[in-house]
Structure 1
C-alpha cells in the first residue's frame, strides 16, 4: 500500500468575484466565481484537509463584493487562510487600510506551522500604486521601481504588480532562519510570481529569488496573479503559479496538494494541472 500523506491542503487562486458583466477580452467571468467557489468548497469538504488557502484577488473590485463572496467560505469545514492581491485593493480610498481586517486575516502577512512545515504568507502589495493610501510615499517608490524595470528592458514593471517592503523582507529572512533552526521545511505563498520570468512577476522578483536561493529547506513557492498559470524550478525550489478561478465561462480551477515525506502531489480540478514534485 502506498503511504498516506502527512497532510493535504486546498488551493484557490483569483476567484476575483464582482457583480459585473464578463470581460470577454480577458475571458473573465467575475459573477460566476460564486458558483465556482461553492463547487470547490463542496469538493474540499469531501476530503480531510489541514486548511484551504486563497492566494489573493478574492474580489475583482468594489468593497461590497466582500459582503457577497466571504459568506460563501462559511460552508468550508476546514481552516481557511487568505492572501491579498491587487484586485482586493480596487475599492474606495477610505477602505484601503482595512482590507486585511475585512477578510479576517490576523495581519497582512503572517506564518503558521503544520506537521514539520512552515507556511509563510506574504503581503505582496505593500509597495504598489494601488494598496497604500493615495498620498503614501510607497506609491512613488513603486513608480520608481516600475521605471527602473522598464528602463532595463524587464517586462514586469507593470502597474498591476507590486513588491514587499524592506521590513517585510527582513521578517521573511528571519522566518526562513527560524524555520531552518526548527528543522521545518518551508512553503512560501504570495499573490505575485517571482519565477519564471513573466510580465506578472513581482516588482522585486530578483531580490526575492536571491533570498530564496540561499535556503535549501524551501520546498515550494505558491502564487496566483498570472491567470494562465505557470511552473518552474530554480535552485531546487518549485515555483507553482495556480490558474485563475475567474477565467472562462464554464470551467473552474482549484487544487488539492498532498504532502508526503518525499514529494508533493498537486491534484488539479477543472483547468488546473496535476503535478508530482519530488523533494530533494
Structure 2
C-alpha cells in the first residue's frame, strides 16, 4: 500500500504511551556531568502527572516507561525507596498497564535481586503465545529465567508483538561482584576502557564502553533471534524496546549499547522488526536505518524545563506508526518497510 493511501488505515489499531528518563528526586535543580544541561529533579514529577492525565484522556492501551525512573542521587541521600514510591503513586493513577524498562539509574539505586521483587519487574505482563506454540523448554523461547536477564515480550493484538530487552544484561551495575556475569562484564569493560574513571570516554576507540552503559549477553541475543524467527513465520510486526539506543544515527557515540552491532545484526536478519524504542540520551534522536527499521530515542523528562513537556502517544495503523509528541518530543510518521497492511 502506498504511503498516501487511506484504505483500512483511517483508524488506529491501538495506541500506547511512551516516556523516558524521569529521574525524579526530591532535590533542587542540578546539571549533567559536563555542567551544561540543566536537570529538573523535582519538577520531573509534575511532567509525569501531566503525561498520566493526557494518557487517561486519550485512552491509550498501555504505557512504556523506558528506564531511569528515579535519579541515582536518591541512593546518596538514602531516598531510593521513598522516591520510587512517590513516582509509582502517579503511575497508579493510570487506567492501563505500564511496562517498565531498567536503565542505569535503576542500578544506581537498587541491585538486581531487589528489582526482580519490585514493582519495576513487569514480566508478569508477558505474553505466553510462544510457550504454547513451542515444543522447546520454557526457558528457551518466549519466557526468560529471572536470574539471567530481564527481558520479555507481549502482544497487544494479533500480529503485533513488543519485545523488551535488558540492555544491562552485560554490566557491572547492580550485580554481585562475585558473579561470573559481573566478572565477565568487568573484563570486557576494562579491555575496552583503560581510563582510571570507567565512566570517561576520553581517548576510547569505541566510546560506548563506559560504565554507565551495558550490553546484551549472547544468551539474550539468541532468545531475541528465536522470538523474531517466530514473529517472521507468523507474519507479525515487532517493536523492540530497550533503555540504550543501538544505532549510531539515533544517538551520540557515547550512549550506545556496548555491543549494539551484535543487536543490529540479529534485528536486520529478520523482516518483522519495524521499530526500536530507547531512552538514555536526554536530547533524543531518530533515524530510519538501511534495513527500514525506525530507531526512536525519546527525549528525557529530567532535562525538560517546567514550561515544556516530554512524552508522547504512538498510534499503530496497518501501514505505519504515528507519534504524537508533547513539548520537546516531535511528531513523527513511521511507515513499515514493505508498506503492506497487517490484514
TM-score class, shorter-chain normalisation, is over 0.9
Q: 1:194 to 1:76 in 2, by over 3 A?
A: same
Report the Cα offset of residue 162 of structure 1: 0.2
**Cα distance in 2 between the residues matched to 1:241 and 1:163:** 17
Q: Secondary structure at the match of 2:257?
A: coil
Q: Secondary structure at the match of 2:324?
A: strand
The residue aligned with 1:241 is 297
**Cα distance in 2 between the residues matched to 1:257 and 1:44:** 11
Q: Secondary structure at the match of 2:189?
A: helix
Q: Secondary structure at the match of 1:118?
A: strand
Q: Deviations over 1:152-187 (max 9, x none)?
A: 712111111001222211111111111112221110
The answer to whether the 8 Å contact 2:52/2:91 transfers is yes
**Cα distance in 2 between the residues matched to 1:247 and 1:41:** 18
Report the Cα offset of residue 29 of structure 1: 1.4
The residue aligned with 2:166 is 123
Report the Cα offset of residue 38 of structure 1: 0.6
The residue aligned with 2:207 is 155
The answer to whether the 8 Å contact 2:232/2:271 transfers is no
The residue aligned with 1:111 is 153
2:229 maps to 1:218: no
Q: Which of residues 22, 31, 49 is equivalent to 1:15?
A: 22
Report the Cα offset of residue 253 of structure 1: 0.6
Report the Cα offset of residue 258 of structure 1: 0.7
Q: Deviations over 1:183-241 (max 9, x none)?
A: 21110000000102521000110100111110121000000011111111221101100
The answer to whether the 8 Å contact 1:145/1:203 transfers is no
The Cα RMSD (Å) is 1.8
**Cα distance in 2 between the residues matched to 1:101 and 1:12:** 23
**Cα distance in 2 between the residues matched to 1:86 and 1:202:** 12
Alignment of structure 1 residues 1-280 onto 2, 5 Å? 3-24=10-31, 25=35, 26-61=37-72, 62=75, 63-64=80-81, 65-91=83-109, 95-102=111-118, 103-106=120-123, 108-115=150-157, 116-150=159-193, 153-196=205-248, 198-234=253-289, 235-250=291-306, 251-280=308-337
Q: Secondary structure at the match of 2:64?
A: strand
Q: Secondary structure at the match of 2:299?
A: coil
**Cα distance in 1 between the residues matched to 2:165 and 2:304:** 28
**Cα distance in 2 between the residues matched to 1:30 and 1:148:** 35
Q: Once structures 1 and 2 are overlaid, which stretch shifts more, 58-67 or 236-245? A: 58-67
**Cα distance in 1 between the residues matched to 2:90 and 2:121:** 14
**Cα distance in 1 between the residues matched to 2:178 and 2:154:** 33
Report the Cα offset of residue 150 of structure 1: 4.7
Report the Cα offset of residue 20 of structure 1: 2.3
Report the Cα offset of residue 100 of structure 1: 3.5
Q: Where does the alignment leave 5 or more consecutive residues of structure 2 unmatched?
A: 1-5, 124-145, 195-203, 338-343
Q: Deviations over 1:30-72 (max 9, x none)?
A: 2211111011000011112121110111111333221211111
